[in-house]
A = this chain, B = another copy of it.
Amino acid sequence: MSKNISPPAAPCPHHGHQACIEQALATAVELCNRGGLRLTPIRKRVLELVWQSHQPLGAYDILAQLSAEDGRPAAPPTVYRALDFLLDNGLIHRLASLNAFIGCDRPHQAHQGHFLICRLCKVARELPHDAIDEAVEQTAAELGFLVEQQVVEVSGVCAPCRGHA
């Protein structure tokens, strides 16, 4: 299943996406500086690649891009280690249903990742998930279950792709 997805007609139709990337990188730099974390060139580059669109990106897609840039093949641990660092520090999320990674909107704030994923344009939108989070916590509480991690990945068709502007 090679991910030869042609880039969607408009991966990011509603804004200049370069601004997203720059914002994300600047935030990451600041966050790492404050926390005494080392945002090394590899880690920064992987974060930038993850942010190149709002479509979740597979580890091996990242690997291929790194390899192409360097002119020599990179090895999986290079990418997975960078991804682990970014995950650990809240800079990206992993989407279990896609085996893919996506940049986090608000890395300062600890939170669970809740996503709407469009099967047409492949864009994953992170939700400020108050309602869902509450429903999960409440349902769990009723059963005496202690929530540690939430995986909420909703697939379907996004408004633009439905023509609902």
**Which A residues form the contact surface with B (CB < 8 A)?**
96-97, 116, 118-119, 125, 127, 129, 131-132, 134-136, 138-140, 143-159, 162, 164
**A151-B96 contact given A135-B135, A143-B125, CB 8 Å threshold:** yes
Q: Which of B132, B140, B145, B154 contacts A149 (CB 8 A)?
A: B154
| Contact between chains at B151 and A156 (CB < 8 Å) | no
Give the docked Cα–Cα distance between A145 and B119 (Å). 11
Residue among A116, A139, A149, A162 with the most chain B CB within 10 A?
A139
For A158, what are the chain B residues with a Cβ–Cβ distance below 8 Å?
Answer: 143-145
Known interface pairs A157-B145, A159-B144; A131-B139 also in contact (CB < 8 Å): yes
Nearest CB of B to A99, in Å: 9
Interface centre among A125, A134, A143 (most CB of B within 10 A): A143
Closest to A112 in B: B154
Q: How far is it, in angstroms, between the C-alpha of A71 and the C-alpha of B73 when the chains are bound?
A: 42
A-B contact pairs, 30 of them (CB 8 A): A96-B151, A97-B151, A116-B140, A116-B143, A131-B135, A131-B138, A132-B135, A134-B135, A135-B135, A136-B152, A136-B154, A140-B154, A143-B158, A145-B154, A145-B159, A146-B157, A146-B162, A147-B154, A147-B155, A147-B156, A148-B155, A148-B156, A149-B154, A149-B155, A149-B156, A150-B152, A151-B151, A151-B152, A151-B153, A151-B154
